Amino acid sequence: MSARRLINFFLYGLLLFFAVLTLVPFAYMVCGALKSKYDFAATLFLPAGDGWLGIGWDRLTLDNFVRLFTELGLPRALHNSILLASVSSILTVLFCAMGGYALAKHQFRGRDAVMGLVLAALIIPGPLLLAPSFQLLYNLNLLDTYTGLLLPGLTPAFGVFLFRQSMLNSVPTELLEAARMDGAGEFRIFFELVLPLVRPMLGAFLMISFMGTWNNFIGPQIILQSPELHPLSVALNNLKGLYGTDYGVIMAGTIVSISPVMCLFLLLQKEFISGLTSGAVKG
Amino acid sequence: MLTDPLFWTAAFNTAQYTLGSLLIQLPVALILALLLNRPGLRGRGLLRLTFFAPSLVGLPFVAMLFAPIFEKRTGLINAGLHHFFPLWDPEFAWMHQYVMSALIIAALWMYAGFNMVYFLAALQNVSKDLLEAAAIDGAGPWQRFRHVTLPDIAPVASFITLLSTIGSFQMFELSFILLNNGPGPENRGLTVMMYLYQTGFITGDLGYASAIGWVLAVTLMSIALLQRWLGRRHEER
């Protein structure tokens, strides 16, 4: 074997090793979700038995999923998560795009001041706002409501900034003027001309905000007290507190919780990766 | 706050976690990106997707997934390592003395692929002509990496370092959920964010929580400024 082939062999081996390390926790989760409480403690992956490949296929069970969806109230949390994440991501993308459009393509008094505010808000770290916004929501009587959970994060400064930058680059002003001459209204221009031009940004940002709300834990943990309002992250953590050692149930719940995001990602994959790195590389 | 020993415990833990994460996660991410960036590699798309997949899971769910993995005896890591290396102690207490190591491992699993995507994008912009010229001039792989690739990806690397530092300083969910909604034995899993949460929303002292928030915010801003300053100085040279 030549030296070059040996190196290649070694590199592929290394990549494969890392890939296996990455995938093992996923496999562990799937196997765990399909096992009874007893088998979970007794075996690492699939229980041994006399079925095909020496695995006790007949010992696998969907009980964990059945329990989650019947007695443990997961459908409620799943419904809440889907509602919260879709509403917030769609509104966030819409408002950020509108804000970015106004700041990029419209002349109005105080524009520079607004832009300055956006830039200032960009550097404020999240933890700083936790206690004050809780106080504010308390005063507004919005604690334990979805409005209180979503409203503060509905137009993140970095979203406005991102859309402004991408509209400066990819929306030609002449095109807007031509559309105006032809008598198109401002909303028509925004929805039919501007938004399609920044489509990759829309996809990437939709994904980012969907994931942000879906995986948000500290927000609902602090703001929502009623269990029937809890999204998956908080509801599943409460289950973990109650059924701490019954890991099969927790693994099944984790699968249910991460599948929607995975599916959305596979749909938006291309746009997401390009949007994620575009800002970083151009700098 | 500055005389509060619990705050210092939290600050020390957070610093430990941040440093550990940076020193392990970023080199791993860079190595993965370098491996994937080899010309003519087969299965690149699939491998990239594989490495990226954990970052789609979301911090709270990563914590729930890793809770059984870090268990004594029955957990994946202890039982697995004990199986291959019988000398490994199956009672190794990930959730007690070694909480921070456990957190670093979970974060490594989750974020290595995410950072790899950034490195990969940066590597694809490295000048191929320059690399070829260096190879013709007799520069070995390490020299080419050190003098051509590294300077080219330095801006992206510093961007990722800053993002990871900021993210690590705000770590909350991972330890909170892994340790059953608390700081863990002897506060070994207490982070600054968790302390903020506890004082503000469990004890109900929003003023003290705000003060912690300020200290954290000022620290993060100073790090960002320091990094910009270092970056500028580097460019001027």
Structure tokens at B193: 């964010």
Q: Do A281 and B76 touch (CB under 8 A)?
A: no
Query: With contacts defined as CB-CB under 8 Å, which chain A residues touch B209?
Result: 130-131
Report which of B40, B57, B74 is spatially closest to residue B111, judged by C-alpha positions. B57
Would you state the pLDDT for residue A278? 56
Would you state the pLDDT for residue A280? 47
* SS3 label, residue A125: coil
Q: Do B221 and A123 touch (CB under 8 A)?
A: yes
Local confidence band at B4 (pLDDT 50, 70, 90 cut-offs): confident
What domains can be seen in chain B, in order of their start residue? 5-236 (1.10.3720.10)
Closest Cβ–Cβ partner in A123, A127, A215 for B213: A127
Q: Do A280 and B201 touch (CB under 8 A)?
A: no
| Closest-approach residue (CA) in chain A for B207 | A131
Query: With contacts defined as CB-CB under 8 Å, which chain B residues touch A215?
Result: 58-61
| Closest-approach residue (CA) in chain B for A20 | B50
Q: Do A23 and B221 touch (CB under 8 A)?
A: no
pLDDT, tens digit, 9 for 90 and up, residues B165-214:
988 998 998 989 988 888 888 888 899 999 999 998 888 888 999 999 99
Give the least confident one: A8-17, A38-47, A240-249, B44-53.
Answer: A38-47
Tell me how close the Cα of A186 comes to any Cα of chain B, in angstroms.
37
Q: Report how far residue B108's alpha carbon sits from residue B28's, in angstroms, rounded to the nearest whole number.
A: 9
Q: Do B76 and A28 touch (CB under 8 A)?
A: yes
pLDDT, tens digit, 9 for 90 and up, residues B30-68:
999 999 888 777 888 888 889 999 999 989 999 999 988
pLDDT, tens digit, 9 for 90 and up, residues A38-86:
777 777 777 666 666 766 676 778 888 888 888 888 889 999 999 999 9
Average pLDDT over every residue of A245-267: 88
Local confidence band at A33 (pLDDT 50, 70, 90 cut-offs): confident
Would you state the pLDDT for residue A282? 42
Would you state the pLDDT for residue A277? 58
Strand partners, A55: A48
Tell me how close the Cα of B21 comes to any Cα of chain A, in angstroms.
17
- The pair phi, psi for residue A236, each rounded to 5°, is -70, -35
For tokens 């003519």, name the residue.
Answer: B40
3-state secondary structure chain B: CCCCHHHHHHHHHHHHHHHHHHHHHHHHHHHHHHHHCCCCCCCHHHHHHHHHHHHHCCHHHHHHHHHHHCCCCCCHHHHHHHHHCCCCCCCCCCCCCCHHHHHHHHHHHHHHHHHHHHHHHHHHCCCHHHHHHHHHCCCCHHHHHHHHHHHHHHHHHHHHHHHHHHHHHCCCHHHHHHCCCCCCHHHCCCCHHHHHHHHHHHCCCHHHHHHHHHHHHHHHHHHHHHHHHHHHHHHHC
Tell me how close the Cα of A178 comes to any Cα of chain B, in angstroms.
37
For residue A10, pLDDT beyond 90 = no
For chain A, what is the mean pLDDT?
85
Average pLDDT over every residue of A228-245: 86
Would you state the pLDDT for residue A54? 63
